[in-house]
Amino acid sequence: MRIAISTGGGDAPGLNAVIRAAVLTAIDRGWHVLGIKKGYAGLLGDDEVIPLTRDEVRGIGHLGGTILRTTNRGNPFSYPVRQPDGSFVEMDRSDELLENARNLGINALISIGGDGSLAIAQKLATKGMRVVCVPKTIDNDVSGTLSTFGFDTAVNTAMEAIDKLHTTAESHDRVIVMEVMGRHAGFIALHSGVAGAAHVILIPEIPYDLSVVCEAIMTRERRGRFFDVVVAAEGAYPKGGTESVMGDSMPGQSRRLGGIAERLAQQIQEKTGKECRSLVLGHLQRGGMPTGYDRLLATRFGGAAVQAVEDGKWGHMVALQSPNIVTVPIEEALRQPKKVDLGHDLVRTARRLGISFGD
Ligand code: F6P
């Protein structure tokens, strides 16, 4: 048996722990493992395919990033191909990919990725590829699994940043708006905001009203609390408005969100007269060593993915449905993106603590 492993989309702390667990579990069964570098690029001749042995995965479980590298521009069904004039044309290279995989003697693929990679894997599965997925995203927005690895590390990074913002915001009587990742789902903002005792949390699931946000800030002021920490997911947007979008993205990439923190800081300053500052936590949330929780989840996912290959669960992804690791059809996981459930006790608890969601 010869299996291959690839990591696609944005990186997340815990990817190396999945790779390590999958490789060691496969070797334990006497299988051979190949690593496809940079998403699917290795299978399209744009990067390498390397053997993954015990040596390659030694001492990597605690490291952030991915030894296989990654890209969020590697969709083989619309692969950006550079033209002689420097422009890019998107081409369907999926047949080439399948043929190259066959030529390398790959019997099955373990694809580790977020919703984009899952959708690609699903399409490859319908074209006959024997593929099993491991869900990955710091945003935690994949359905069918209670959580994805990388999320806990990102929450801890954001929470520590909020802790630090408290002291400086309080010293200066300022409002500090911090932008965290979360394109369509506000899990990082919600979890880090509650854990770090933010005063306002803005998430894509609850379009905010600027005057409500300002009123929450002024209510605190009347109580003698002169500083505020506002945590906003990058995908948060005002009622009747739109998300803040950053400049151009690269060919084959989804549009880049960003700018909500600075926009809000300016608006809050204008409306309340309070001094405001903003910061974007950005890719710090994707870096660093995975927490113990993420390492364990990633390790369980890696082992379970090899088991899923052995069981022939093609077109399935491994998932956490506490206390078990199960497999669910990718199709089911993709049916709808996971969003913050507004009836969840964490949202209700936050409201009872006086945290404003701007609604
Ligand atoms: O992993 C998902 C994500 O964290 C999103 O929240 C964010 O918009 C995106 O990655 C940014 O990715 P990149 O800057 O690598 O394109």
Chain segment 224-253, per-residue pLDDT in tens = 999 999 999 999 999 999 999 987 777 777
For residues 316-341, give the mean pLDDT.
97
3-state SS record for the chain = CEEEEEECCCCCCCHHHHHHHHHHHHHHCCCEEEEECCCCHHHHCCCCEEECCHHHHCCCCCCCCCCCCCCCCCCHHHEEEECCCCCEEEECCHHHHHHHHHHCCCCEEEEEECHHHHHHHHHHHHCCCCEEEEEECCCCCCCCCCCCECHHHHHHHHHHHHHHHHHHHHHHCCEEEEEECCCCCCHHHHHHHHHCCCCEEECCCCCECHHHHHHHHHHHHHCCCCCEEEEEECCCCECCCCCCECCCCCCCCCCCECCHHHHHHHHHHHHHCCCEEEEECHHHHHCCCCCHHHHHHHHHHHHHHHHHHHCCCCCEEEEEECCEEEEEEHHHHHHCCCCCCCCCHHHHHHHHCCCECCC
Q: Is 258 in the pocket of ligand 1 (CB under 6 A)?
A: no
For residues 10-33, give the mean pLDDT.
98
pLDDT of residue 248: 72
Which domains, from first to last, does the chain contain? 2-149+290-322 (3.40.50.450), 151-287+341-352 (3.40.50.460)
| Atom 8 (ligand 1) nearest CA | 183
How much distance in Å is there from the Cα of 274 to the middle of ligand 1?
Answer: 31
Q: Is 257 in the pocket of ligand 1 (CB under 6 A)?
A: yes
* Residues designated catalytic: 139
Q: Is 8 in the pocket of ligand 1 (CB under 6 A)?
A: no
Q: Is 117 in the pocket of ligand 1 (CB under 6 A)?
A: no
Residue 254 pLDDT > 80, yes or no? no
How much distance in Å is there from the Cα of 333 to the middle of ligand 1?
Answer: 20
pLDDT of residue 225: 97
Closest CA to 310 of 77, 162, 151, 132: 132
Instruction: Give percent of the chain with pLDDT exceeding 90.
Output: 94
Residue to mutate, 188, 256, 260, 339, ligand 1, most ligand atoms under 8 Å from C-beta? 256
Q: Is 189 in the pocket of ligand 1 (CB under 6 A)?
A: no
For residues 39-68, give the mean pLDDT.
96
pLDDT of residue 107: 97
Residue 74 pLDDT > 90, yes or no? no
Which atom of ligand 1 approaches the CA of 285 most closely?
4
How much distance in Å is there from the Cα of 173 to the middle of ligand 1?
Answer: 32
Which atom of ligand 1 approaches the CA of 138 most closely?
1
Q: Is 136 in the pocket of ligand 1 (CB under 6 A)?
A: no
